[in-house]
Structure 1
Amino acid sequence: MTGDAVTSLTPTPHVAPHDEIDFLAMLKSIWQQKLLIGIVAGCVLLFTGIYGITATPEYRVKTLLRPAALNDLDELNRTKVYTLPPTEALKRVGSALESYDTRLGYFRLNPALQSAFMKNGRTLEQAFEEFNFKALKLIQPDPKKTDLLKAYIGMEMRYPEGLDGKSVLNGLVQYAIEMERQQISKDLQVIIQNRIREVDSKLEAARVDYAAGKDGRIAELLEDDTLKRAKLSDELRALRLQLKLRRENRIAQLEEAIAIASSLGLKRPSTPSSMGQADLGATGNVMRTEVINQQIPLYFMGTDALQAERQALRKRTSDDFADARVAEIRKELMLLETNRSVQVLRGRQNEELFLKGIEPLRAERARLSAITTDMSKLELVSIDRLAVDPVRPEWPNKALLLLLGLVAGAVVGIALAVVRFVVVSRSHEQKRVELPQVKHIPADELKGRIVIS
């Protein structure tokens, strides 16, 4: 081959492919692969459509509770032994709705609820766990907000098709409220019984104090009577001894006077003046009147009178009549034989009437006993919104599923197209760098020869 220049084919050194991607070429490739993208998107859309048709529908119901009115809790608060504000009552019902025991008790009492969740060989405990953790949700406001108008408690439940969800949720709320009513009734009974026992103990203490006071009063009265009786007895004995000594002294005086009168020859009562006149002799009937200021000696009574008095004193068996004080003492002793105050104290039939300072305790006990503990009609909360049958199932949302399937299918198809573009581009680049490279050589250097190096 001749000419001005000869083309020579010589291998070039190996050049590594670079990682740069031509986005325009990639977009063109994606557009060229639109059929693949459409097929992938259609498959994913078909799969989501089949799932939306065959999936078991799930529904959602919701109820809303708010604090009860003040007059609804007035009957309980007026007992003055149990105070329950509306917000506290709402919190108690909310705690009951969230309580594991309350939910388990309601689940066991509801056969329809058990049959709805006991599938695929589940046990009662497994079915309840799904119902408790997946189906129920308690909604509460921000605890920092204490406004009564914003206080509420919401309860949501997701349930499968075939179950009367609104009846189940409303029944759960009523069951929780009834459980709280029973708990309040029990608490009220315990508090009332404790208060009544406290009042009874105070009444018993008052009775014991009264009995001790009465016994002390009786003991004091009897002691006073014993002391008086002893003093009067001592006085009577002393007085009788005094009268006896006085009688014996009188007898001794009479005996002495009798001896003097006998020696003087005085047989009948006489006077000193009459004795003097007797010595002078009588001169006729004379009437004498003597006025003296001295006591006439006893022997002037004469032996007859003195002996008669002595004989009478010796025959005396008792000197009690000789002093009026003896009769008074005997009267007082007779009065002391029966203490009427003690008799009245011991004969009291209803001693409760004599207890002092227990009227408030009796009134409090009567009030506590009259408090009713039946809280079956107590309105703890106000049901602001009852659960009603939903219009459409919560899941699956067919329109949303189809839209998501379409978007997901398009994304997957585009991803496959991008991957295919990258793989093909890398393959072509590798082949291009491995082919021989054409080189132009001047004709005068090769001298009409074709050199292949």
Structure 2
Amino acid sequence: MDALNRSEVYQLPPVDALLKVGAALESYDTRLAFFRANQKLFEPFVRPGQTLEQSFEAFNRDSIHLILPDTDKKDSLSAYVKLEMTYPKGIDGVAILNGFVDYAVRVERKQISADLDVIVKNRINELKGRFDSARSNYEVEKEAKIASLRENDALKRAQLQDELRALRSQLKALRNDRIAQLNEAIGIAKSLGIQKPTTPSSLGESRNAGANSVMRTEVNNQQVPLFFMGVEALNAELVALKQRKSDDFTDPRVAQIAKELQLLASNREVEVLNARENEDIFLAGVQPLRAEMARLSSLNIDMAGLKLVTVDQQALEPLVAASPNRLLVVLLGLLGGAVLALCIALLRSAIVASRDIIKERSPGSQVSRLNARGHIGELPDQQHSIQPIQK
């Protein structure tokens, strides 16, 4: 029973085990099952014309009794139950009583084993349910994380594409503005006759051309108007701008956006999450559940050797019959005979006395006649004696 209690699944203190066995000994179903399983032992209890259940009812009511300790007594050293059986001569009462105790212990041991199996299965199912719940939570969290990553990628991709379209529109607008500026500058340069690139000072001196050649260096902080580039240079730039198919190369941000869009084409974190094969190893907080499930699955308790109670004394053949008590029968017989004899004597005496009284009071009896005759004989004498006195 120590192994059963150490399993931490089924707790059975010795007192509870004794109560369970006592309840089995007192159980009507247990007694009836033992009665049916051992009908040869109970053949003398079966009465003609009665069913098996009726014969058992009489046996259960009159022959076998369970005695519990008196709870008011404080000097009891240990808890116990006692089973007594009264049976007529010729019946193997020892075999019945010892067999019934063993049968009740086996029945209760089998019931405890069944209860233990049910508890273990329920605990394992409960742990599996918690494990499945943890797996479901993990799958939900995983799907939520993948959805969040994809949503963030989609949002960032949309933002980059919007930025790219806006940037391209801006570059196109800048190119058109540049074309307009070039057209205007070409018109001014043609009107001034500037074919080659020049400077404002060079343009002024070219009109006052002389024999001397002079080299000048001009330094100023003002931007030189575009038409000073000359018609040839401006036309060359204008033709190039009109033939341009794309303005993406003019801004490095376009290349940066293209790079980021290329990176967003595939999310490696999502691929890794989807490529997981054994996802149970990633479950959080399930290691104690695995350990408990493994322990319960490998739980092996020898229920056949489970000792629920200790039989302090086996039933033995009694040396003296419980009934009848011969000495008591003799004493009661003597006492009854004396009382009966006394009653008979008193009754006879009363009858004789009543007869005598009846005879004395009867008018036709001999005593009454004698008394009557005596009175008649004495009457003349009395009269005779009275007459002389009167004279």
Normalised TM-score (structure 2): 0.83
Which of 127, 142, 145 matches 1:214?
142
Which of 291, 294, 304 matches 2:232?
304
- Amino acid across the alignment from 1:84: L
Task: Give me the whole-angstrom Cα distance separating, in 1, the residues matched to 2:259 and 2:324.
Answer: 114
RMSD between superposed Cα atoms in Å: 3.1
Which of 422, 435, 445 matches 2:382?
445
> How many residues get paired?
376
Quick one: structure 1 residues 282 and 79, their matched pair in 2 at CA, closer, same or farther if it must change by over 3 Å?
farther
Q: Which has the higher contact order (CA 8 A, sep 6+)?
A: 1
Contact 1:188 1:373 in 2 (8 A): no
The Cα offsets for residues 420-450 of structure 1, whole Å up to 9 and x where unpaired, read as 34333433454456541667969963769xx
The Cα offsets for residues 172-225 of structure 1, whole Å up to 9 and x where unpaired, read as 112112222222233333333334443333333333333333322222222222
1:189 equivalent in structure 2: 117
How big is the shift at 1:291? 1.6
Task: Give me the whole-angstrom Cα distance separating, in 1, the residues matched to 2:336 and 2:155.
Answer: 117
1:391 equivalent in structure 2: 319
Unaligned runs of 5+ in 1: 1-71, 449-453
Quick one: structure 1 residues 209 and 147, their matched pair in 2 at CA, closer, same or farther if it must change by over 3 Å?
farther
Task: Give me the whole-angstrom Cα distance separating, in 1, the residues matched to 2:301 and 2:56.
Answer: 33
How big is the shift at 1:122? 4.6
How big is the shift at 1:76? 3.3
1:118 equivalent in structure 2: 46
Unaligned runs of 5+ in 2: 386-391
Contact 1:258 1:299 in 2 (8 A): yes
The answer to whether residue 78 in structure 2 is matched with residue 141 in structure 1 is: no
Quick one: structure 1 residues 231 and 166, their matched pair in 2 at CA, closer, same or farther if it must change by over 3 Å?
same
Contact 1:268 1:305 in 2 (8 A): yes
Contact 2:3 2:301 in 1 (8 A): no
1:316 equivalent in structure 2: 244
SS of the residue corresponding to residue 384 of structure 1 reads: coil
What does 1:166-315 align with in structure 2 at a 5 Å threshold? Answer: 166-281=94-209, 283=211, 286-315=214-243
How big is the shift at 1:359? 4.0
Quick one: structure 1 residues 293 and 148, their matched pair in 2 at CA, closer, same or farther if it must change by over 3 Å?
farther
Task: Give me the whole-angstrom Cα distance separating, in 2, the residues matched to 1:125 and 1:447.
Answer: 102
Task: Give me the whole-angstrom Cα distance separating, in 2, the residues matched to 1:229 and 1:346.
Answer: 21
Task: Give me the whole-angstrom Cα distance separating, in 2, the residues matched to 1:77 and 1:389.
Answer: 37
SS of the residue corresponding to residue 42 of structure 2 reads: helix
Deviates more, 1:89-98 or 1:138-147: 138-147
The Cα offsets for residues 137-169 of structure 1, whole Å up to 9 and x where unpaired, read as 111123455887353211101223333322211
Task: Give me the whole-angstrom Cα distance separating, in 2, the residues matched to 1:146 and 1:99.
Answer: 28
1:55 equivalent in structure 2: none
More strand, by proportion: 1
Contact 1:267 1:302 in 2 (8 A): yes
How big is the shift at 1:108? 0.7
Percent identity between matched residues is 52
1:102 equivalent in structure 2: 30
Normalised TM-score (structure 1): 0.73
Task: Give me the whole-angstrom Cα distance separating, in 1, the residues matched to 2:21 and 2:210.
Answer: 137
1:378 equivalent in structure 2: 306
- Amino acid across the alignment from 2:278: N
What does 1:325-340 align with in structure 2 at a 5 Å threshold? Answer: 325-340=253-268
- Amino acid across the alignment from 2:311: I
The answer to whether residue 276 in structure 2 is matched with residue 355 in structure 1 is: no
